[in-house]
Structure 1
Amino acid sequence: MMELILKPLEYLWIKWAIDDLQGKNKKPIFDWIFPIFSSIIVTFFLYYTFNIDSRDFKIFFESKGFEVLGNFILTLPGFLFAALTAVVSFGNKELDITAKFNPPINKHGHEISRRRYLSNAFSYLTFLSLALLVSTVFINYAYSSNIMNFGPIYYKLGYLATSLIYFTFVFQMLFILIITLYYIGDKLHQPSIVSSNQDNN
């Protein structure tokens, strides 16, 4: 049962660059390296601006910025699910062809079609947006009700740790969404070949 619930996470095991001369998989750069680096920058900014002794100070999770981010995340699941439905149902045969250059490879080592790759990407993005939505509601409640206040030191450490983890996945969603848009807008129109090993799953 748990395997079915976590099925969208298979996107994270997809690899790129099968024909890279150095054999490097560049996908983790967008899945993890850029998001973690961006999250560290944001967390450092929150650490630098943290001033709990000030009467006017509000942590990010109690600010208007977090409310705006929460509203943005609230709209994403419906949009991403609609995009997933469009990719699955769209009748363009080019989507069922394996890319000629750097075709995606699933965790079983099989080249997969463009449609399968996009389906996996939007499936994971929808899953992630729902997880972030639940996390946003919980974080908002936890900090607005002041149940996270275990003393100044632990409060600050918890705040920064929460920020690091939360923004890692926010940025991961944004970077994967950007790469998926690039894939639809550009890579999808590059030359392709029919692969004999196409999407065996």
Structure 2
Amino acid sequence: MMELILKPLAYLSIKWAIDDLKGRNKKPIFDWILPILFSVFVTIFLYLTLDLNSSEFKIFFESKGFEVLGNFILALPGFLFAALTAVVSFGNKELDITAKVNPPINKDGHEISRRRYLSNAFSYLTFLSLALLIATVFINYAYNSNILNFGITYYQWGYLLTSFIYFTFVFQMLFILIITLYYIGDKVHQPSHYPQDK
């Protein structure tokens, strides 16, 4: 049962074939390294601007910025599900071709088509946006209801840890979305093989 629920996570196990001269797979850079790096920067910023002794200070989760981010995440699942539906039903035969140049590879080591890659990407993005939506609602409730009264030290580090985890997945969603848009806007229009491969 859980395997079916967590099936969208299969996107994370997809690898890109060797895509540079040194034989490195660049996909983890966009899946994890850049999101974690950006999340670290945001968390450091939140730490440096943290002033719990001020009666007028509001943490990020109580600010208008979090409300705007929450509204953005609220709008994403419908958009991403529509994109997933479009990819699955779009009749372009080029999407069903397994590219001979740098094709995506699933966890079983099999090359997959462009349509399968995009379907997995949008499936994971939809799953992640729904998870972030639930997390946003929970965080908003927890911090506005003042149920997190564990002492100032635990509160501070809990806030920073929550921020780090939350923004890691927010940035992961954004970077995967950007790469997926690049894939749709440019990669799928490139020839599936070099002229000499014909």
Normalized against structure 2, the TM-score is what? Answer: 0.95
Q: Partner residue of 1:105?
A: 105
Instruction: Describe the superposition over 1:87-120 as per-residue Cα deviations: whole angstroms up to 9, x where unpaired.
Output: 0000000000012321100000000000000000
Question: Which runs of no fewer than 5 residues in structure 2 stay unpaired?
Answer: 194-198
Q: Partner residue of 1:39?
A: 39
- Please give the residue correspondences for 1:65-144 in structure 2 after superposition, counting only pairs within 5 Å: 65-144=65-144
Instruction: Describe the superposition over 1:11-38 as per-residue Cα deviations: whole angstroms up to 9, x where unpaired.
Output: 0000013364433211000000000000
Q: Partner residue of 1:16?
A: 16
Contact residue 132 and residue 170 of structure 2 kept, 8 A: yes
Please state how far the C-alpha of 1:43 moved relative to its aligned partner: 0.3
Q: Partner residue of 1:165?
A: 165
Q: Distance in 1 between matches of 2:152 and 2:61?
A: 16
Q: Secondary structure at the match of 1:98?
A: coil
Q: Secondary structure at the match of 1:24?
A: coil
Please state how far the C-alpha of 1:161 moved relative to its aligned partner: 0.2
Q: Secondary structure at the match of 1:78?
A: helix
Q: Supply the RMSD in Å over aligned alpha carbons.
A: 0.9
Q: Partner residue of 1:199?
A: none
Please state how far the C-alpha of 1:5 moved relative to its aligned partner: 0.3
Q: Percent identity?
A: 83
Contact residue 61 and residue 139 of structure 2 kept, 8 A: yes
Q: Partner residue of 2:177?
A: 177
Please state how far the C-alpha of 1:183 moved relative to its aligned partner: 0.4
Q: Which AA in structure 1 matches 2:85?
A: T
- How many residue pairs get aligned? The number is 193
Question: Which runs of no fewer than 5 residues in structure 1 stay unpaired?
Answer: 194-201
Q: Distance in 2 between matches of 1:53 and 1:67?
A: 23
Q: Partner residue of 2:189?
A: 189
Q: Distance in 2 between matches of 1:23 and 1:121?
A: 23
Contact residue 43 and residue 164 of structure 1 kept, 8 A: yes
Q: Distance in 2 between matches of 1:72 and 1:6?
A: 24
Instruction: Describe the superposition over 1:169-193 as per-residue Cα deviations: whole angstroms up to 9, x where unpaired.
Output: 0000000000000000111111104
Contact residue 100 and residue 191 of structure 1 kept, 8 A: no
Contact residue 17 and residue 104 of structure 1 kept, 8 A: yes
Q: Distance in 2 between matches of 1:18 and 1:110?
A: 14
Normalized against structure 1, the TM-score is what? Answer: 0.94
